[in-house]
């Protein structure tokens, strides 16, 4: 395998756009970490035209997946947690080429998990939790039990990720293994929802109640970034202005729901502005209490 890696690096090193190369060996026969390939090669490239591409090939009976990605996309995926295997690749992968010490720096920052990144990930996870939680609540009232179950299971997963992030740790692929030691209470709720002998409706109602008392109390903590943006100037903010703000771009679609709940919880307040006196159009803007 080492000889194969050396040959692959020798080929890719000639491309000046290639910033770094990371290799991940398949840890087991049935592992999905490398999508079933013997070797995953992650190529970080500064040239946008070459990124977001994948190649599958065989070399010396070794099945290889080669994935090209840009530094900006890599940072975005780490922030959003869209590719759960990515943290594993960065922390456990073998660095084969590293111009400007890019990957070493990224690995260090990932392990460090700085406060600013934690706050941003908390806001993203809470916005996702809130959507799933409220949809489950609506479905259970309408007696759509299976839809309510599916949504509350997703909400519980986001709750687990919030707890892990609060502990200063990156959520991994195996979130429930992580949460079992970090917060046994949340893990117990997961067991109650999935394994209890109660009716499905009763299980959903139990977790909804737990969410109402436990996670909703985290709203101010998880929305700290949003509240800080609102407090950054004296004038109230329109929804459009907030949606254009760089710090809130990752929750752009969830902002209306978040703002509404923050107002109802008296964590922020609405200010009414007259847009057009002739037709009595009033605009809602938002500011801190």
The three-state DSSP-derived secondary structure of the chain is CHHHHHHHHHHHHCCCCEEEEEEEECCCCCCCCCCCCCEEEEEEECCHHHCCEEEEEEECCEEEEEEEECHHHHHHHHHHCCCCHHHHHHHHCEEEEEHHHHHHHHHHHHHHCCHHHHHHHHHHHHHHHHHHHHHHHHHHHCCCHHHHHHHHHHHHHHHHHHHHHHCCCCCCCCHHHHHHHHCHHHHHHHHHHHHCCCCHHHHHHHHHHHHHHHHHHHHHHHCHHHHHHHCCCCCCEEHHHHHHCHHHHHHHHHHHHHHHHHHHCCCEEEEEEEEECCCCEEEEEEEEC
Which token pair is 167? 């502990």
Q: Is residue 272, in this structure, part of any structural domain at all?
A: yes
Q: How far apart are CA 249 and CA 95, in angstroms?
A: 32
**Per-residue pLDDT for the chain (289 aa), expressed as one digit of tens each?**
788 888 888 888 888 889 999 998 887 655 677 888 889 999 999 877 677 888 899 988 888 999 999 888 888 887 776 666 788 888 888 999 998 899 999 888 888 888 888 899 999 999 999 999 999 999 999 999 999 999 999 999 999 999 999 998 888 778 899 899 999 999 999 999 999 899 999 999 999 999 988 877 888 899 999 999 999 999 999 999 999 998 898 898 999 999 999 999 999 999 888 766 666 678 889 999 8
Are 178 and 215 found together in one domain? yes
Query: Residue 183: CB partners within 8 Å, gap ≥ 6?
Result: 160, 163
Are 49 and 131 found together in one domain? no
Q: Is residue 242, in this structure, part of any structural domain at all?
A: yes
- Beta bridge partner(s), residue 276: 281
Are 127 and 107 found together in one domain? no
State the virtual CA torsion across 241, 244, 245, 248 in degrees, nearest 10.
Answer: 110
Q: What is the CATH number of the domain that holds 164?
A: 1.20.120.330
Q: Is residue 120, in this structure, part of any structural domain at all?
A: yes
The full length of the chain comes to: 289
pTM: 0.80
Q: Is residue 189, in this structure, part of any structural domain at all?
A: yes
Are 134 and 200 found together in one domain? yes
Number of domain units in the chain: 3
Q: What is the CATH number of the domain that holds 38?
A: 3.30.460.10
Could you say which of 112, 138, 171 is where a domain stops? 112
User: Can you give the pLDDT at residue 277?
Assistant: 63
User: Can you give the pLDDT at residue 149?
Assistant: 97
Are 55 and 81 found together in one domain? yes
Q: Is residue 227, in this structure, part of any structural domain at all?
A: no
Are 53 and 68 found together in one domain? yes
Could you say which of 112, 132, 160 is where a domain stops? 112
Are 97 and 168 found together in one domain? no
User: Can you give the pLDDT at residue 129?
Assistant: 94
The parent domain of residue 259 ranges over: 232-289
User: Can you give the pLDDT at residue 104?
Assistant: 92
Are 9 and 29 found together in one domain? yes
Q: Is residue 39, in this structure, part of any structural domain at all?
A: yes
Q: Is residue 269, in this structure, part of any structural domain at all?
A: yes
Q: Is residue 203, in this structure, part of any structural domain at all?
A: yes
Are 210 and 251 found together in one domain? no
Are 197 and 256 found together in one domain? no
Are 180 and 276 found together in one domain? no
Could you say which of 112, 142, 158 is where a domain stops? 112
Q: What is the CATH number of the domain that holds 284?
A: 1.10.10.10
Are 246 and 286 found together in one domain? yes
């Amino acid at each position: 395998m080492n000889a194969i890696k050396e040959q692959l690096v020798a080929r890719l090193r000639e491309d000046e756009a290639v910033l770094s190369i990371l290799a991940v060996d398949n840890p087991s026969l049935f592992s999905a970490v490398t999508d079933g390939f013997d070797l995953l090669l992650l190529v970080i490239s500064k040239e946008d035209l070459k990124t977001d591409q994948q190649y599958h090939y065989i070399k010396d009976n070794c099945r290889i997946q080669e994935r090209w990605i840009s530094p900006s996309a890599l940072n975005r995926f780490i922030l959003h947690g869209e590719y759960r295997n990515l943290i594993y690749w960065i922390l456990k992968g073998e660095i084969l080429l590293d111009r400007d010490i890019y990957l070493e720096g990224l690995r260090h920052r990932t392990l460090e998990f700085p406060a600013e990144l934690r706050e941003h990930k908390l806001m993203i996870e809470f916005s996702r939790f809130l959507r799933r939680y409220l949809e489950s609540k609506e479905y259970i009232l309408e007696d759509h039990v299976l839809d309510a179950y599916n949504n509350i299971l997703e909400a519980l997963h986001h709750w687990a990720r919030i707890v892990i992030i609060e502990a200063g740790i990156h959520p991994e692929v195996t979130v429930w293994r992580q949460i079992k030691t970090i917060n046994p209470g949340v893990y117990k709720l997961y067991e109650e929802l999935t394994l209890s002998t109660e009716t499905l409706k009763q299980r959903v109602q139990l977790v909804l109640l737990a969410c109402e008392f436990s996670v909703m109390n985290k709203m101010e903590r998880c929305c700290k970034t949003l509240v800080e943006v609102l407090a950054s100037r004296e004038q109230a903010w329109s929804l459009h202005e907030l949606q254009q703000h760089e710090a809130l771009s990752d929750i752009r679609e969830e902002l209306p729901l978040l703002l509404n709940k923050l107002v109802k919880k008296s964590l922020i307040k609405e200010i009414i502005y007259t847009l057009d006196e002739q037709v009595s159009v009033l605009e809602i803007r938002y500011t801190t209490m």
